[in-house]
Amino acid sequence: MATTVALSSSLKHHLALGVRIPQSPALCRRNGGRVSTFRSFPVAMATPLEVCVKASVTTPNKLGDCPFCQRVLLTMEEKHLPYDMKLVDLANKPEWFLQISPEGKVPVAKLDEKWVPDSDVIAQTLEEKYPDPPLATPPEKASVGSKIFSTFIGFLKSKDPSDGTEQALLNELSSFNDYIKENGPFINGEKVSAPDLSLAPKLYHLEIALGHYKKWSLPDTLPHTKSYMKTIFSMESFVKTRASPDDVIAGWRPKSAGVFFPQHMKYIIAVQRVSFSQLVNGLLLDERSQNSLPLLAF
Ligand SMILES: N[C@@H](CCC(=O)N[C@@H](CS)C(=O)NCC(=O)O)C(=O)O
């Protein structure tokens, strides 16, 4: 099996859920079967939190390039919560993972004995369960910079330099620049907070993907956005949880290539439980029959 899994020591939790998570012999040898992280933990927690995250596609047993996963890991780091990462190969999703996450998406975190999907929900739940140190912001600040990611994707996918997608991104980055100039250095002022932890991984992807696929970089007219990125990207928690540039580049390849992704392919993903990467790589691998079927057959 191509999937790499970092096992938690808390086998009891899996048994309670009725899901058996297979062990990866390589990982078990490497680190007692787990990719655990321990910094300084003022919070007394008996068991590390379990979290399923995307595995690297370039380096075995490494964290991959999901900005939503990084957001969750950053939240746990900033709250000094110990966690166990289970690395999931999204190109070959194992059955135990699909039982935990029927939509086949990461991140998924185990909170109060339940597997919880979606970084918004996970971050909110962590805030409620572990309010100290607080990462919450007033509601009006929660959406600062929230259109940057979608405009970045629009520009990355664009093949027409005059279609306005670059300008749309610049407008969002410029509003953000003005906001940080007035209110910074972080979105909520002096301290990092939840919206920073959501936005920063997306800005990291933006910088690497646009640099690689469009030879584009942030203009010097946005110094506050630039210094914001520099500050967050050098935080210990960010360095520890970031994906490698090679993974980020690989992850955005389908979008930058403008891969056609019609509705019936979404149906194949849902029913056959194959991944986006399998589809774009041109093969549909049926795990149960072990047959490789040409994508054109669909
Ligand atoms: N809204 C979700 C988005 C999660 C998401 O889209 N994750 C991607 C990886 S970055 C995924 O799992 N995709 C499934 C796949 O590639 O098969 C969240 O905030 O957690």
Q: What is the pTM of this model?
A: 0.79
Cα separation, 226 vs 187, whole angstroms: 14
Atom of ligand 1 nearest to the CA of 93: 17
Q: How far apart are the first and last CA of the chain?
A: 25
Q: Whose C-alpha lies nearest to ligand 1, atom 17? A: 275
- pLDDT score of 271: 55
Q: Whose C-alpha lies nearest to ligand 1, atom 19? A: 119
Distance 97 CA to ligand 1 centre (A): 13
Domains of the chain with bracketed CATH: 11-129 (3.40.30.10), 139-250 (1.20.1050.10), 259-297 (no CATH)
Other beta carbons less than 10 A from residue 273's beta carbon: 17
Instruction: Kindly tell me if the per-residue pLDDT of 283 is higher than 50.
Output: no
Distance 14 CA to ligand 1 centre (A): 23
pLDDT digits (tens, 9 = 90+) for 166-225: 999 999 999 999 999 999 999 999 999 999 999 999 999 999 999 999 999 999 999 999
52 has catalytic annotation: no
pLDDT digits (tens, 9 = 90+) for 47-63: 899 999 999 999 999 99
Return the best residue to mutate from 105, 149, 285 for the ligand 1 pocket (most ligand atoms within 8 A of CB).
Answer: 105
Burial (CB < 10 A; 0-12, 13-18, 19+), residue 170, is: middle
Percentage of the chain lying above the pLDDT 90 cut: 70
pLDDT band at 261 (very low <50, low <70, confident <90, very high): low
Distance 135 CA to ligand 1 centre (A): 23
Atom of ligand 1 nearest to the CA of 275: 17
Q: Which residue has the higher pLDDT, 230 or 18?
A: 230
Strand partners, 241: none
pLDDT (average), residues 150-168: 97
pLDDT digits (tens, 9 = 90+) for 80-139: 999 999 999 999 999 999 999 999 999 999 999 999 999 999 999 999 999 999 999 999
- pLDDT score of 285: 39
Indicate the range of 96-110, 131-145, 254-268, 277-291 predicted with least confidence: 277-291
Residue pair 83/71 in contact by the 8 Å Cβ criterion? no
Q: Whose C-alpha lies nearest to ligand 1, atom 13? A: 105
Q: Which residue has the higher pLDDT, 237 or 23?
A: 237
Using a 6 Å CB cutoff, which residues line ligand 1? 54, 66, 68, 90, 104-107, 118-120, 275-276
Computed over every residue of the chain, the mean pLDDT equals 82
Other beta carbons less than 10 A from residue 39's beta carbon: 12
Instruction: Kindly tell me if the per-residue pLDDT of 267 is higher than 90.
Output: no
Distance 248 CA to ligand 1 centre (A): 14
- pLDDT score of 258: 77
Cα separation, 224 vs 218, whole angstroms: 11
